Amino acid sequence: MPGWAYETIYIHLDQSANASKNFVIGNRVPGSVVAGLNAHADVLIEGFTYT
């Protein structure tokens, strides 16, 4: 049955990297690595959809 709906999406990301991680750099492009990296992200997406 067609109609409006209210959607809520919650995303929680938690990643970490330390000196023992192996990072691959392709095509000989120089890069940098940060040891002891901790990344946290919380995202809340809300909105109306119509079906």
Do residues 7 and 48 lie in contact, with contact meaning Cβ atoms separated by under 8 Å? yes
The CA-to-CA distance between both ends of the chain, in Å, stands at 8
Q: Lowest mean pLDDT of 4-8, 13-17, 39-43, name the range.
A: 13-17
| The predicted structure's pLDDT at residue 41 | 92
Establish how many alpha carbons lie within 13 A of residue 7's alpha carbon, considering only the half-sphere containing its beta carbon. Answer: 9
Mean pLDDT for the chain?
A: 81
Cα(36)–Cα(16) distance, integer angstroms = 7
Q: Please, which pLDDT band fits residue 16 given cuts at 50, 70 and 90? A: confident
Q: Per the structure, how many domains does the chain have?
A: 1
Residue 8 sits in which domain range?
4-50
- The model carries a pTM of 0.48
**41 strand-pairing partners:** 13
